[in-house]
Amino acid sequence: MVHPQRFDPLYGFHHAVQGWIARLTNVRTFTYLFGDSSYIVHYLRGLGYDLSSVRQTGSNFGVEVKHETPFLSTVGTGTMVSDGLSLLNADYSGSSFRLRRTAVAPEAFLGNDIAYPPGARVGRNCLLATKVLVPLDGPVREDVGLLGSPAFEIPRSVRRDRGFDHLWTGAARRRGPAAKLRHNTVTIAWYVLVQWLNLTGVVGIGVLAGGLHPRFGVFATAGGIAAALLFSVLFLVLAERTAQGFRPLRPRFCSIYDPVFWRHERFWKLSPGRYLALFNGTPFKGLLWRLLGVRVGRRVFDDGCAMPEKSLVTLGDDVTLNVGSVIQCHSLEDGTFKSDRTTVGAGSTIGVGAFVHYGVTIGEAAVVDADAFLMKGSVTAPGSRWRGNPATEIAGEPVAPGRWS
Residue type, 143: D
pLDDT digits (tens, 9 = 90+) for 190-249: 999 999 999 999 999 999 999 999 999 999 999 999 999 999 999 999 999 999 999 999
Instruction: State the pairing for strand pair 73-75/102-104.
Output: parallel
Number of alpha helices (DSSP H) and beta strands (DSSP E) in the chain: 7, 30
The C-alpha atoms of residue 394 and residue 333 are separated, in whole angstroms, by: 29
- What is the structure's pLDDT at 234? 96
Q: What is the secondary structure of 376-397 as a DSSP string?
A: TT-EEPTT-EEETTTTEEPPSS
Which H helix or E strand runs over 336? strand 336-339
Count CA within 13 A, CB hemisphere, residue 130. 25
Q: How far is CA 52 from CA 37, 205, 267, in A?
A: 18, 49, 31
- Domain check: are 201 and 187 in the same one? yes
Per-residue DSSP letter, 247: S
Residue-range definition of the domain harbouring residue 202: 159-272
Is the Cα torsion angle 242, 247, 248, 251 positive or negative in sign? Answer: negative
Is residue 324 helix, strand or coil? Answer: coil
Domain annotation covers residue 83: yes
Residue 168 banded pLDDT, cuts 50, 70, 90: low
Per-residue DSSP letter, 136: -
Domain annotation covers residue 193: yes
Residue 185: closest CA among 54, 58, 97, 298? 58
pLDDT digits (tens, 9 = 90+) for 281-322: 999 999 999 999 999 999 999 999 999 999 999 999 999 999
- Where a domain ends, among 156, 178, 199? 156
Q: How many domains does the chain have?
A: 3
Q: What is the CATH number of the domain that holds 365?
A: 2.160.10.10
Peptide bond into 248 cis (omega under 30): no
Residue type, 8: D
- Domain check: are 12 and 140 in the same one? yes
- Domain check: are 300 and 398 in the same one? yes
Mean pLDDT of 114-138: 95
Per-residue DSSP letter, 257: T
Q: What are phi and psi of 387, to 5 degrees?
A: -145, 150
The C-alpha atoms of residue 339 and residue 59 are separated, in whole angstroms, by: 17
Indicate the average pLDDT of the chain.
Answer: 92
In sequence order, what are the residues at sequence separation of 6 or more whose Cβ sits closer than 8 angstroms to the Cβ of residue 330?
264, 308, 309, 337, 338, 339, 358
In sequence order, what are the residues at sequence separation of 6 or more whose Cβ sits closer than 8 angstroms to the Cβ of residue 238?
none
In sequence order, what are the residues at sequence separation of 6 or more whose Cβ sits closer than 8 angstroms to the Cβ of residue 183?
259, 262, 266
- What is the structure's pLDDT at 405? 42
- Domain check: are 245 and 228 in the same one? yes
Residue 397 banded pLDDT, cuts 50, 70, 90: low
Per-residue DSSP letter, 122: B
- Domain check: are 122 and 38 in the same one? yes
Domain annotation covers residue 248: yes
296: left (phi over 0), alpha (psi -120 to 50) or beta: beta
- Domain check: are 289 and 366 in the same one? yes
Instruction: State the pairing for strand pair 145-147/114-116.
Output: unpaired
- Where a domain ends, among 131, 156, 181? 156
Residue 251: closest CA among 343, 130, 171, 172? 343
The C-alpha atoms of residue 348 and residue 90 are separated, in whole angstroms, by: 39
Count CA within 13 A, CB hemisphere, residue 254. 13
pTM of the model: 0.91
- Domain check: are 169 and 142 in the same one? no
- Domain check: are 116 and 173 in the same one? no
The C-alpha atoms of residue 359 and residue 355 are separated, in whole angstroms, by: 13
- Domain check: are 13 and 152 in the same one? yes
- What is the structure's pLDDT at 178? 92
- Domain check: are 164 and 151 in the same one? no
Domain annotation covers residue 257: yes
